[in-house]
Copies of this chain bind each other. A is one copy, B any other.
Amino acid sequence: MPFLDVLLGKPLPTSEERGEQIGAAAGIPIFGLDALSSAAYGPEAALTLLIPLGAVGVATIVPISASIIVLLAIVSLSYRQTIAAYPGGGGSYTVASENLGRYPGLLAAAALMIDYVLTAAVGISAGVGSLVSAAPSLQPHTLAICLGILALITVVNLRGVREAGFVFMIPTYLFVGTLLTTIVVGIVKVALAGGHPVPVVPPPSPVPATTAVASVWLLLQVFSNGCTAMTGVEAVSNGVRAFREPTVKTAQRTLTVIIGLLALLLAGIAYLVRAYAIAATPPEQAGYQSVLSMLVAAVTGRGWFYDVTIGSILVILSLSANTAFADFPRLCRAVALKRFLPHAFAFRGRRLVYTEGILVLAVLTAALLILFGGVTDRLIPLFAIGAFLAFTLSQAGMVAHWRRVGGRGAARSMAINGLGAVVTGLTTLVVLVAKFAAGAWVSALLIIAMIGAMLWVKRHYDQVAREMHSETPLALTALDRPLVVVPIQDWGKTAANALEFALTLSPDVTAVHVAAEDDQGRLQAQWPRMVDAPAKRAGLEPPKLVVLPSPYRLVVLPIVDYVLQVEAANRGRRVAVIVPELVEQHWYHYPLHNKRAEILKWWLLLRGNPRIVLVNVPWYLKT
């Protein structure tokens, strides 16, 4: 299939696994896109809630960002330890299920799976949303652009981990580079202006000075909105196996760089927003402009640098879905290896990636995008809850891990992970309470449903394994040759071929013929010359011809009924049904031939029993 080779690259043998592993430079775009891109929406989500507070609100962003950065540092330290402890991949599922037990593990898995699907959909639609607001003529094509980007991300991921790293490297570094430049330039300008810089392009409306005081409830809401900036932090620990030797060090370095960059971006944005007094504008109103757009314009004006920066933000947002594509298949593999998901998720495809997981994520994401017409704002409240639940379970699992492992340094490690567990646990509660009515309850229900489904899959696999298991040797007592039934519609080469093969299998061959509405008895008339005579000459028992009536014009069911009768009348002997099958070499011939052979196979399997065996004798057209 050369088309697949072009689209996805040539198949890679398992022995090339090492060549597909990556370093930190490729790891940052692959596992950090989600975390880094959240700098583009986390502060904005927090500032939007602060609009009513005017200048007080703008100032509040600094302590809020500071607390998020502290949280980030704690979580990051925790995850460094997880990477060291689980070099084979320490996703929240693995850590929670190995240390806390089956149900916490499944809870983490379900929460993360739902989180990834939502992240992928929301990421793409957020990027396309910004693009569309920059170029309104694209508005009618929102969904098509979303699906196009999804297709691109899917294909790149199916091509393998290394290629994905290279493709996403340029936009990632462009985004980080331009934003950091803006921050440095901004800080210098603030310092030169003695703390009161003059914006190159002032924000559209000045911030009203109010004397309002933020309520605790509002601050909690602002904090939990800001916490969306933290989703994606667990990605590296989940994908340790993708990094090259020394695996643990490379993964840890990648995580540190990602978190460091994210913290710098968050801190710089918060500082400049306050210095330039930039309040968010209400979304879904005329004149809306994103906080980053106002900030970059205030610092550098609206020249080419503005265009490049804003352009890279659009690109990075729509590609942030890629982190979900890197992690979701790995998570599904880990769960499938424990038999809680179909086996197919554990197989590596032609390019050494977990094809099934990538495809399932692509289909689910596409379904969400289509369902919401490419505008998934309403899904945003649903997804932070899954990420924080997984954080908490992972950290708590690590605490149990250190307790079990013990030894030197275990107490210190336990303290770090314990701190992480407590702060992320509290954050989970805050997010759950703050967002419950807004949609977090949907996430909760979905998580419960997913856990139920995974338990059901496991139970089914266990049952099948018990039934199939056998330590008994072959029992070769009933080696009678089978009774053979050959359905024949007309005399011709396929019928002759099937009968010839039948006679090599057994001396007991019966041909069955279903009489059509206008049957002329032609086959019966031909039988003595075509079959009886040659069989007798070869010294064989001639196959009998049985004609079946068909009052309902059906062809398949009378044959199935006849086979079941034969089997019932000859208990203990196997019945082999020979199905002559015309093989179409061209797909466009498919609708031209009836599917009776397939329908017959299907019915016989469905209504049959282990003593009824199907034999396909193919027939190939020369043309």
The residues of A with any CB-CB pair to B shorter than 8 Å are: 11-15, 342-344, 347-348, 350, 457, 460-461, 463-464, 467-476, 479-482, 491-494, 496-497, 499-501, 503-505, 517, 529-531, 533-535, 537-538, 540, 551-553, 574, 576, 581-583, 585, 589, 591-594, 601, 605-606, 608-610, 612-623
Neighbouring B residues of A576 by C-beta, 8 Å = 615
Neighbouring B residues of A593 by C-beta, 8 Å = 342-343, 464
Which residue, of A476, A482, A497, A500, has the highest number of chain B Cβ atoms within 10 A?
A: A476
The answer to whether residues A15 and B479 also contact, given A464-B621, A472-B496, A621-B467 and a CB cut-off of 8 A, is: no
Neighbouring B residues of A347 by C-beta, 8 Å = 553
Neighbouring B residues of A493 by C-beta, 8 Å = 467-470
The answer to whether residues A481 and B467 also contact, given A476-B540, A615-B615 and a CB cut-off of 8 A, is: no
Give bound CA distance, A34 to B609, whole Å. 52
Give bound CA distance, A141 to B277, whole Å. 48
22 CB < 8 A contacts A-B: A11-B552, A15-B551, A344-B591, A457-B592, A460-B592, A460-B623, A461-B592, A468-B619, A470-B492, A470-B493, A472-B496, A474-B500, A475-B534, A479-B500, A480-B504, A481-B505, A583-B606, A601-B616, A610-B617, A610-B619, A613-B616, A613-B617
Give bound CA distance, A585 to B607, whole Å. 10
CB distance from A358 to the nearest CB of B (A): 16
Q: Is the beta-carbon distance between A500 and B529 smaller than 8 angstroms?
A: no
Q: In chain B, what residue has the closest Cβ to A11?
A: B552
Give bound CA distance, A537 to B476, whole Å. 9
The answer to whether residues A479 and B553 also contact, given A467-B493, A496-B474 and a CB cut-off of 8 A, is: no
Majority-rule SS of A interface residues: mixed
The answer to whether residues A475 and B496 also contact, given A504-B574, A614-B615, A620-B610 and a CB cut-off of 8 A, is: yes
Q: Is the beta-carbon distance between A623 and B467 smaller than 8 angstroms?
A: yes
CB distance from A618 to the nearest CB of B (A): 5
The answer to whether residues A482 and B504 also contact, given A474-B530, A592-B457, A619-B610 and a CB cut-off of 8 A, is: yes
Interface residue from B344, B501, B623 paired with A463 (Cβ < 8 Å): B623
Neighbouring B residues of A609 by C-beta, 8 Å = 618, 620
CB distance from A59 to the nearest CB of B (A): 47
Q: Is the beta-carbon distance between B591 and A551 smaller than 8 angstroms?
A: no
Interface residue from B12, B531, B591, B618 paired with A342 (Cβ < 8 Å): B591
Q: Is the beta-carbon distance between B457 and A474 smaller than 8 angstroms?
A: no
Give bound CA distance, A501 to B347, whole Å. 31
The answer to whether residues A618 and B612 also contact, given A492-B469, A503-B479 and a CB cut-off of 8 A, is: yes
Q: Within the oligomer, what is the number of copies of this chain?
A: 2
Q: Is the beta-carbon distance between A499 and B474 smaller than 8 angstroms?
A: yes
Q: Is the beta-carbon distance between B348 and A553 smaller than 8 angstroms?
A: yes
Q: Is the beta-carbon distance between A605 and B618 smaller than 8 angstroms?
A: yes
Q: In chain B, what residue has the closest Cβ to A533?
A: B473
Q: In chain B, what residue has the closest Cβ to A622?
A: B467
Give bound CA distance, A613 to B350, whole Å. 29
Q: Is the beta-carbon distance between A517 and B618 smaller than 8 angstroms?
A: no
Q: Is the beta-carbon distance between A494 and B482 smaller than 8 angstroms?
A: no
Which residue, of A15, A348, A529, A553, has the highest number of chain B Cβ atoms within 10 A?
A: A553
Additional pairs, 12, CB under 8 Å, beyond known A12-B552, A614-B618: A342-B592, A344-B591, A347-B553, A460-B589, A463-B623, A470-B496, A479-B504, A481-B504, A583-B608, A613-B615, A613-B616, A616-B616
Neighbouring B residues of A501 by C-beta, 8 Å = 482, 574, 613
Give bound CA distance, A582 to B476, whole Å. 22
Interface residue from B343, B582, B589, B617 paired with A594 (Cβ < 8 Å): B343
Give bound CA distance, A540 to B474, whole Å. 12
Neighbouring B residues of A583 by C-beta, 8 Å = 605-606, 608
Give bound CA distance, A44 to B514, whole Å. 55
Q: Is the beta-carbon distance between B500 and A476 smaller than 8 angstroms?
A: yes
Q: Is the beta-carbon distance between B468 and A494 smaller than 8 angstroms?
A: yes
The answer to whether residues A13 and B552 also contact, given A342-B591, A533-B473, A623-B467 and a CB cut-off of 8 A, is: yes
Q: In chain B, what residue has the closest Cβ to A504?
A: B479
Interface residue from B476, B480, B553 paired with A534 (Cβ < 8 Å): B476
Neighbouring B residues of A614 by C-beta, 8 Å = 615-616, 618
Q: In chain B, what residue has the closest Cβ to A474?
A: B534
Neighbouring B residues of A13 by C-beta, 8 Å = 551-552
Give bound CA distance, A602 to B138, whole Å. 44
Give bound CA distance, A492 to B465, whole Å. 9
Neighbouring B residues of A505 by C-beta, 8 Å = 481-482, 505
Q: In chain B, what residue has the closest Cβ to A576?
A: B615
Neighbouring B residues of A622 by C-beta, 8 Å = 467
Q: Is the beta-carbon distance between B474 and A531 smaller than 8 angstroms?
A: yes
Neighbouring B residues of A530 by C-beta, 8 Å = 472-474
Which residue, of A12, A350, A553, A616, has the highest number of chain B Cβ atoms within 10 A?
A: A616
Q: In chain B, what residue has the closest Cβ to A602?
A: B583
Q: In chain B, what residue has the closest Cβ to A17?
A: B517
Q: Is the beta-carbon distance between B610 and A605 smaller than 8 angstroms?
A: no
CB distance from A579 to the nearest CB of B (A): 9
Give bound CA distance, A365 to B441, whole Å. 42
Give bound CA distance, A493 to B614, whole Å. 18
Neighbouring B residues of A540 by C-beta, 8 Å = 476, 479
Q: In chain B, what residue has the closest Cβ to A542?
A: B474
Q: Is the beta-carbon distance between A605 and B594 smaller than 8 angstroms?
A: no
CB distance from A359 to the nearest CB of B (A): 12
The answer to whether residues A616 and B605 also contact, given A342-B592, A463-B623, A496-B472 and a CB cut-off of 8 A, is: yes
Give bound CA distance, A347 to B555, whole Å. 11
Give bound CA distance, A463 to B623, whole Å. 8
CB distance from A490 to the nearest CB of B (A): 8
Q: Is the beta-carbon distance between A538 and B479 smaller than 8 angstroms?
A: yes
Q: Is the beta-carbon distance between B613 and A618 smaller than 8 angstroms?
A: yes
